[in-house]
A and B are shown apart, each in its own frame.
Chain A
Amino acid sequence: MAVKTQRTRMRTQDSIERQSNFLEVALGYSYDEAIAEARRCIDCKNPRCVLACPVEVNIPLFIKYLLEDALDEAFETIYKDNILPSICGRVCPQESQCEGACILGIKSTPVAIGALERFVGDYGMEKHLADTTVPELKHKKVAVIGSGPAGLANAAGLRKKGYDVTVFEALHKFGGVLQYGIPDFRLPKNIVENEVQNLKTMGVEFVKNAVIGKSLTIDQLFEMGYQSVFIGSGAGLPSGLGIPGENLSGVYFANEFLTRVNLMKSRSFPLSATPVKIGDNVAVVGGGNVAMDAARTAKRLGAKNVFIVYRRDEASLPARLEEIHHAKDEAIDFRLLRNPVEILGENRIVKQVVCEIMALGEPDDSGRRRPVGTGETVTFDIDSIIISIGQKPNPILKDNTFGLKTHSWGGIITDENHMTSIPGVFAGGDVVSGAATVILAMGTGKEAAETMHQYIQNKKT
């Protein structure tokens, strides 16, 4: 069967208008658009797309239901493997996962699986289709540390098995990076809140302001009768560049900047209590999703010129393709093959960034060509600089939990059942893998729910 059509483009908010608001940029498919796109799927016998999805969503099946106008069934099909379809449809790096493997991609453009998943997910959200029925309580308590996608998926899985689940979250809002990191223009917060609400409806208990390792230790959780513990504390500790000038005022780590804006709502300052200031010229260092989010957020706060400073070339940018396109449409200026070597200030406030011009050398371990310094530098005038070059696991749990084994970079070591060096303590998501993706975090959280169930059942009481 020949593919006659190119994929249906998703409508977006006007690229000028959106630079001064925080409303969602990608507007989603209408029903007709979704059907038009769904028709492109050729329902492969051995669907490559499914294997390339970390949680193996049955993509051809949900698309088939969609075409039959059986939207409830389409939703249930996705939900069986992925409890966060509205979120993953928006933020998964589809081009390197499901869509990257779609057979249509070879000769034409792949089926817009993410957009279809978003359409079906949003339909399910509106119609409250998420299955919140749960078995009667078994009265065995389990504790989940962190309310990011790993923790949420783990809590859902365990609650479905009849456990009495408590989620402990350090911050005052639930959702992890979905709440404090990814901005509203990519992921409206009501979607995250809806997912948390579903879990509350299922009877999962959520405790905010509880820093495990400090407020309560893991030992104390066991003393309190929790049978098993899941650590989904993420990779929230920002890495610095380690160059002179990094502690000048006006030098932000992306987490601080995004937290001020998303979690503390400083974008409405002075009507909210937490301020943020960035000035007219903002440099963002890095090329991943975090950098794109920081740059586009800076633009929306009124910065005139926002540069992405990245040490490799365009093809190596690790961000989702869609974010790179959206950033370009919003006049974000990409200064590629530039590596910051020093930040200069005046009266201890940032003024300029000096960058070494890089060239591409031989491929490195990541398969991308290694950037090598040319010795030449360029200097940009800036009012602030936002460092977005990566995150490591937070050390609080490691430092306060006796016997919890970690890698030298801080990641928690787990076995094939997601169990840590402490019996009964499991872990998943970014705290194990290092900064990765929502769907991978969700996937391990869900798998760990299975293995924790087995562990508790096999444990002699």
Chain B
Amino acid sequence: MYQIMAKKTLNKDVDLMEVKAPLVARNAKPGQFIILRVDDEGERIPLTIAGIDGDLVTIIYQKMGYSTQLLGKKSVGDFIEDFVGPLGKATHIRKKNHVIGVAGGVGSAPLLPQLKAYHDQGIKVSLILGGRTKDHLILQDEYAAFCDHIYLATDDGSVGEKGFVTDVLKKQLDSDPTIDHLIAIGPVIMMKYVTLMAKAHGVSVDVSLNPIMIDGTGMCGNCRVTIANKTYFACIDGPDFPGEEVDFDELMSRQSYYKDEEHMCFIDLDNHGR
């Protein structure tokens, strides 16, 4: 059992938690993730490690469906049944000069440690942060501590540019020839379009893939993705891959295979407390 030591609401859909998990914290590196089960009947769900502080592991999750909402009902002092990691490969830090991180929505959380890792290597980093509204742009202060520039984009124009992150990205790529690498994390469709834009500008791009996972140890094969026409398991070979080589359409299709079932889970959320 893993105790929740801190909890913070980032916006109405997104919480941050610090969970005591020494076996995860000990070897964790940027880009890696954990898999948790909220309770003994729970589903295994993957979440990126957003930070480490001693024995504490930070996770930031968007309350999407059953399991993340159940997690959101837990408070400081409560326990999570299972919490395993660090899983996946650590981010490969490329030798670059100016890296732009592009985050969509809660993708801001997994991007943070990666972009910070580039900064820690002395590489110039900037951020493009996008979301539905002003409230959906999370972790701005944390990024401000090390980013050269932060550009914002919202669907409703409540802050920053009205439009998509790709609109902002295009302007930057057109105007700033020092940019030589992108990291895009967010909805698959966003990563796909960022990748297309990177290709058009001859800039490399890494993306972090989020297929449906079960074990996270290479056992089930559910997380398979096609990279350069070869099958890889995102949980052990990834989750980061060069965007140029990813079959995004396949990923989107595999991700949505259980869409109908995800809204069918009949376990009563309100009466599920223990």
Contacts and interface: CB of A to CB of B under 8 A. Distances in A.
A237 B265 CA distance: 29
A442 to B, nearest CB: 20
A211 B217 contact: yes
B214 A253 contact: no
A238 interface: yes
Contact of B41 (A236, A238, A249, A265): A265
21 contacts: A171-B215, A172-B81, A207-B23, A211-B217, A214-B85, A215-B26, A238-B220, A246-B231, A247-B231, A247-B250, A247-B254, A252-B222, A259-B220, A260-B214, A264-B214, A269-B265, A270-B261, A270-B265, A273-B42, A275-B265, A395-B236
B122 to A, nearest CB: 28
B23 A210 contact: yes
Interface of A: 170-172, 180, 207-211, 214-217, 220, 236-238, 240, 246-250, 252-253, 255-256, 259-260, 264-265, 269-275, 277, 347-349, 394-396
Contacts of A269: 261, 264-265
A216 B257 contact: no
B258 to A, nearest CB: 5
Contact of A275 (B81, B225, B249, B261): B261
B72 interface: no
B148 interface: no
A396 B236 contact: yes
Interface range on chain B (Cβ under 8 Å from partner): 35 or more
Nearest to B247: A247
Interface string B217-254: 11111101110000100001000000000000110011
B118 interface: no
B43 A215 contact: no
Nearest to B36: A209
A220 to B, nearest CB: 8
B84 A209 contact: yes
Nearest to B262: A275
B214 A396 contact: no
B250 A211 contact: no
Interface in B24-58: 24, 26-27, 37, 41-44
Contacts of B218: 236-237, 394-396
- Interface-central residue, A180, A209, A269, A277, by most chain B CB under 10 Å: A209
B161 interface: no
Given A236-B217, A270-B267, A272-B267, 16 more contacts: A170-B217, A208-B84, A211-B87, A215-B26, A215-B27, A215-B85, A246-B231, A247-B224, A247-B250, A249-B254, A252-B222, A253-B220, A273-B41, A273-B42, A273-B66, A348-B253
A303 to B, nearest CB: 16
Given A249-B257, A264-B43, A259 B214 contact: yes
Contacts of B180: none
Contact of A215 (B37, B84, B220): B84
Given A236-B218, A256-B222, A259-B220, A209 B83 contact: yes
B258 A277 contact: yes
A253 B85 contact: no
B41 A272 contact: yes
Interface string B130-146: 00000000000000000
B41 A394 contact: no
Interface of A is mostly: loop
B27 A217 contact: yes
Contacts of B250: 247, 348
Contacts of A247: 224-226, 231, 250, 254
B84 A172 contact: yes
A349 B257 CA distance: 8
A391 B217 CA distance: 14
Nearest to B87: A214
B264 A270 contact: yes
A210 B215 contact: no
B27 A216 contact: yes
A273 B267 contact: yes
Given A256-B222, A273-B43, A215 B86 contact: yes
A170 B221 contact: no
Nearest to A258: B220
Contacts of A240: 221, 231
A241 B129 CA distance: 41
Nearest to A238: B221
Contacts of A256: 214, 220-222
A225 to B, nearest CB: 16
Contacts of A208: 82, 84
Interface string B151-174: 000000000000000000000000
Contacts of B85: 211, 214-215
A274 B37 CA distance: 11
Contacts of B81: 172
A208 to B, nearest CB: 7
Contacts of B83: 209
Q: Which 10 A-B pairs have CB atoms at the shortest separation, nearest pair first?
A: A275-B261, A209-B84, A253-B221, A273-B43, A348-B253, A256-B220, A249-B257, A236-B219, A270-B266, A215-B23
